A and B are shown apart, each in its own frame.
Chain A
Amino acid sequence: MSSVDLNSKIPNNVGLADDPKLQRALEKWLPNYLEWWHDMGPTDFEDKPVFLRTAISVERGGWANYDYVKMPDYRWGIFLAPNEGEPTIKCGDDAGTPAWLDVPGEHRNALRRIIVTQADTEPASVEQQRLLGHIAPSLYDLRNLFQVNVEEGRHLWAMVYLLHKYFGRDGRDEADELLQRRSGDADKPRILGAFNQPCDHWLSFFAFTMFTDRDGKYQLAALAESGFDPLARSTQFMLTEEAHHLFVGDTGIQRIIKRSAELQALDPNGDVRAQGGIDFELIQRTINYWYTYSLDLFGGEISSNASSFFASGLKGRFHEHRFEDHRAIEGEYRLPVVEGGKLVEKDVALRNAMNEVLRDAYVADCERVIARWNKTLETAGSPTRLSLPSRRFHRHQGIYAGHAFDPQGNLISAEEYEANRSRWLLVPEDNEYLLSIMKPCYEPGKFANWIAPPTKGIEGRPVEFEYVKLHD
């Protein structure tokens, strides 16, 4: 592909046309990316026109252009959110001083690691979701799935741009490796745990976009506070797209809850499964499973990495500008730790608790969504209420990993945990049941029995709009 083609194919505001070095790097990478998309992206829908939103500029509204597009023709662009005024370092020892427009050598390795870790999650989720199109509950949902997929692809582009532009040969090597790792592969797994978990039905998809993409939102928001200006602006722009992913997850589960409540009322015994729906225990187990795997993504509760990222101004807190003290050199954070077989409160230096501070914001956000879901249940007249498990439950990272907790956060024995596992967490039989009820529903305006239709369609189109053209 010539560089002229490249520039027209890749909408951008990073001066790609005048950057031969970047062009050369992307020219090499693009064919491998397309090959990866072909191999690991959504299967069997490559030739179908999908009503997709494409970002073509950073101007107002420029990020949301809707049209029918075949996914391999999607224009994966590279955008930096515009700066208002002179950018500064937002946190840490050098808060208030001018931001870095280039990578400072001192922080090169740390920044590369941060970017690679974020970048790795983008293709990973596409891989996790690649088979879901075959059992979509509606064309509306199918379209949403594909929208999420192409945007995760664009997020990969956004991160690869940073690696190519600012990290030299190492960066190019890392960009190549991003296309070589595979979600769930025993030998070449994705970097983070949640991105290697199977996501083989739509309940998990909605839970993933609700909980795991929401971790993404908070990671991106923390990186949007970075003193490395290109990273800050890149992630800021990604947040606009991420909001839609969260919407898909949040409303997806909300629509299932609504439908299950209807089926519960419909059935003489209040048995949702008897009506082919998804029972609330199963929904709760799904919440328990994906919420806790997503909590892991924030990293250790007490972390010297988190401290040094914050201190160096590489990664801030959620909405750093709302804090008064951006240095956070003093101050402590109290959290329960396991000591001698008991939970005791411990104070740690605030900087070392920055992962936990970010996790707090995330937990509060999740609580708000759960409250909305419970509102749905209340409106539908269902007595059931859903809840988030304790953040200590079912953890694989951090200070609670390796200890057994019940969903209320009480320390329990390993035996007790094992005995209750199938009540608390997804089990293989759950998957079997979900796969048995999830049959594709491809007729415009029709929805699978286990989910309610949305209240409105996309971009002013009606719910029965043909969001994906499966037939010419």
Chain B
Amino acid sequence: MQQPAASSPAPVDFEVEPEHYRHWKVAYEGPVARVTMEVDPEGGLREGYELKLNSYDLGVDIELADIVRRMRFEHPEVRVAVLRSGIDRVFCAGANINMLGQSSHAWKVNFCKFTNETRCELEDAAGSSQQAYIAACNGTTAGGGYELALACEEIYLQDDGNSAVSLPEVPLLGVLPGTGGLTRLVDKRKVRRDRADVFSTTAEGIRGNKAKQWGLVDDVFPRSRFDEKIAERAQAMAERMAAQVGKGSRVGVRLPRLTPEVEGRNRSYRHVTLTVDDQSRTASLTIAGPTADDVAILRKGGDAAHAAGAELWALRAYRELDDALLHLRVNNPTVGLVLVRTTGDAQTVLDHDAALVAARDHWFVREVLLHMGRVLRRMDNTSRSFFALGDAGTAFAGNLLELALASDRFYLLDDPDHVVHVGLSDLNEGALPMAHGPTRLQTHLYGEPDKLDGLVGNRALLEPEDADEAGLVTVRLDEIDWEDDVRIAIEERVSLSPDALTGMEQNLRFAGPETPESKIYARLSAWQNWIFIRPNATGPEGALTLYGRPERPSFDWQRV
């Protein structure tokens, strides 16, 4: 097993603040935000590559994710965000090739996953938060650059005889456009598949009117009138978005740094703790549930929740959980199994959820719920085994039950001296959907519709036996068996092939239908990850390995 050496690079920090952005500028003008990408070539997260031509690495994307999140919480007045480049004639060249070439497989996969999540978050802002992104492609828009544009509501390309949109990954690098490009091309923009095929194999891409005709962009404008036309489109979009928003002004809520206590690889936030045990390759992730005080705030209504702002439990705890998950993924690569616990009082959690749902007419509460949904989806997409451990003092109820339903197994203690309650709230029944559409509860009981019907609408606390009966529990153990059985389950789990587990878990977690978002992860990312490790891409003679090098790639022609 490879342990990170003492000299390994500093852990990635996922928290960033606007005053420290290196690669982006954001200007707010009432309902319109102008987001300008101007990547600092010297500002790579790791040594060994230059971020030329607005190409990006994880560090650039962490800032973008921060922009998108703050837009929703801190700048709720924004209806349209115009995304453009600060570099003349270059919009964005996509993920930095040299960075990909020198990265480990795990790094590439985590990078792609994070960028995908960011694009989904950006894309979802129009429908959920009435914040639409417009891609103003004022120059070459290649690879991940075009995929970023594809995540936007509308794409406009400068028509200067030169600027093209392109997905050169297949012909140039022997890999896929890995941030949803292929999926969005045919699923979202409904580009004909034969044209999509031509486009995705033409390295130089397509420009001008043909790009418009094929539906690759919404319109092309001459260079001299580009800014003016974009301003018109932004105005129209802002009005369209504003029509879907209720009256009354919205005051933003600042998101301060979480500042956890960090000791080695352990992180203690206010509500969340992440403890890593390198020896056993496990981590413990514990979330402290809301208190009676938290419930009291919510019961005063949306304005009180808004006044609590970033300190509101539902926002703070889930931001912490999000940060912990990201650290787990990127900075703790060898942890195979995460033991999830939620502490607190089950009834209080249910009360909390009821009060939260009652206040959901307030924009801020809605944003909090959307955020919780995204964090849980991040957990669904995390390639680690999760075991939820419902031992004494835990409260897997309401929104916290989602953590058990997101886990691969749920062990519940059945001890008459320490009764552990489980319960449902409205939040288990629609507000926090999975990426493929249904709730975690529906997915969990996909094959047992009767059990699902029996549970829906039930707001009573369930004792362990009832919870087991209802189909919520994987293994119910009494206090005598608990210790040994859980220990053996853990030891068995961490002994299995991590690759096989990742594949197995991702297949089992998403029963039921698909959405474009889930296709991006299940189909595109999965294929990409396979291609990434194939010799034709990353072998000594692979196209990605040799890109920028003097040798030409040579392929193994066998179709697999």
Q: Which residues of A contact B (CB under 8 A)?
A: 93, 109-110, 113, 177, 180-181, 186-191, 304, 307-308, 311-312, 328-329, 349-352
Contact assessment for A189 and B224 in the assembled complex, using a CB-CB cutoff below 8 Å: no
Contact assessment for A109 and B550 in the assembled complex, using a CB-CB cutoff below 8 Å: no
Closest B residue, CB atoms, query A402: B41
> Which A residues are CB-close (under 8 A) to B160?
186-189
Give 9 nearest A-B pairs by CB, closest first.
A351-B550, A187-B222, A349-B550, A304-B548, A186-B224, A311-B552, A188-B161, A181-B161, A187-B223
Which residues of B228-272 have CB atoms within 8 Å of chain A's CB atoms?
none
Contact assessment for A189 and B550 in the assembled complex, using a CB-CB cutoff below 8 Å: no
**Bound form: Cα–Cα A109–B198 in Å:** 12
Contact assessment for A180 and B161 in the assembled complex, using a CB-CB cutoff below 8 Å: yes
Contact assessment for A93 and B552 in the assembled complex, using a CB-CB cutoff below 8 Å: yes
Given A109-B202, A109-B203: A187 in contact with B550 (beta carbons within 8 A): no
Minimal beta-carbon separation of B300 from chain A (angstroms): 55
Binary flags per residue of B378-403, CB closer than 8 Å to A gives 1, else 0: 00000000000000000000000000
Contact assessment for B161 and A329 in the assembled complex, using a CB-CB cutoff below 8 Å: no
Which residues of B105-146 have CB atoms within 8 Å of chain A's CB atoms?
none
Minimal beta-carbon separation of A178 from chain B (angstroms): 10
Contact assessment for B547 and A304 in the assembled complex, using a CB-CB cutoff below 8 Å: yes
Given A187-B224, A329-B551, A349-B549: A109 in contact with B204 (beta carbons within 8 A): yes
Q: 17 more A-B contacts (CB under 8 A) besides A177-B161, A189-B223, A311-B552? A: A109-B171, A109-B203, A113-B204, A181-B161, A187-B161, A187-B224, A188-B222, A189-B161, A189-B162, A304-B549, A307-B548, A307-B549, A308-B552, A350-B550, A352-B548, A352-B549, A352-B550
Question: B223, B224, B547, B548: which has the most chain A beta carbons within 10 Å?
Answer: B548
**Bound form: Cα–Cα A328–B222 in Å:** 43
Binary flags per residue of B163-182, CB closer than 8 Å to A gives 1, else 0: 00000000100000000000
**Bound form: Cα–Cα A177–B222 in Å:** 15
11 interchain pairs, CB-CB under 8 A: A109-B171, A109-B202, A187-B161, A188-B159, A189-B160, A307-B549, A308-B552, A329-B550, A352-B548, A352-B549, A352-B550
Contact assessment for B551 and A311 in the assembled complex, using a CB-CB cutoff below 8 Å: yes
**Bound form: Cα–Cα A395–B542 in Å:** 34
Binary flags per residue of B539-553, CB closer than 8 Å to A gives 1, else 0: 000000001111110
> Which B residues are CB-close (under 8 A) to A181?
161
Q: Inter-chain contact count A-B, CB under 8 Å? A: 53
> Which A residues are CB-close (under 8 A) to B202?
109
**Bound form: Cα–Cα A351–B550 in Å:** 5
> Which B residues are CB-close (under 8 A) to A312?
552
Question: B159, B225, B549: which has the most chain A beta carbons within 10 Å?
Answer: B549
> Which B residues are CB-close (under 8 A) to A352?
548-550
Closest A residue, CB atoms, query B201: A109
**Bound form: Cα–Cα A381–B202 in Å:** 60
Closest B residue, CB atoms, query A307: B550
Minimal beta-carbon separation of A395 from chain B (angstroms): 15
> Which B residues are CB-close (under 8 A) to A351?
550
**Bound form: Cα–Cα A187–B227 in Å:** 13
Choice from A110, A191, A307 contacting B162 with Cβ under 8 Å: A191
**Bound form: Cα–Cα A190–B160 in Å:** 9
> Which A residues are CB-close (under 8 A) to B552?
93, 308, 311-312
> Which A residues are CB-close (under 8 A) to B161?
177, 180-181, 187-191
Closest B residue, CB atoms, query A178: B161
Closest A residue, CB atoms, query B88: A396
Contact assessment for A311 and B550 in the assembled complex, using a CB-CB cutoff below 8 Å: yes
Closest A residue, CB atoms, query B224: A186
Minimal beta-carbon separation of B446 from chain A (angstroms): 47
Closest A residue, CB atoms, query B208: A177
Closest B residue, CB atoms, query A348: B550
**Bound form: Cα–Cα A190–B225 in Å:** 18
Choice from B159, B204, B547 contacting A187 with Cβ under 8 Å: B159
**Bound form: Cα–Cα A10–B61 in Å:** 56
Minimal beta-carbon separation of B519 from chain A (angstroms): 29
> Which B residues are CB-close (under 8 A) to A189?
160-162, 223
**Bound form: Cα–Cα A328–B549 in Å:** 12
**Bound form: Cα–Cα A10–B204 in Å:** 33
Minimal beta-carbon separation of B142 from chain A (angstroms): 13
Minimal beta-carbon separation of B366 from chain A (angstroms): 43
Minimal beta-carbon separation of B240 from chain A (angstroms): 28
> Which A residues are CB-close (under 8 A) to B547?
304
> Which A residues are CB-close (under 8 A) to B159?
187-188
**Bound form: Cα–Cα A181–B225 in Å:** 17
Minimal beta-carbon separation of A243 from chain B (angstroms): 30
Closest B residue, CB atoms, query A332: B550
> Which B residues are CB-close (under 8 A) to A329?
550-551
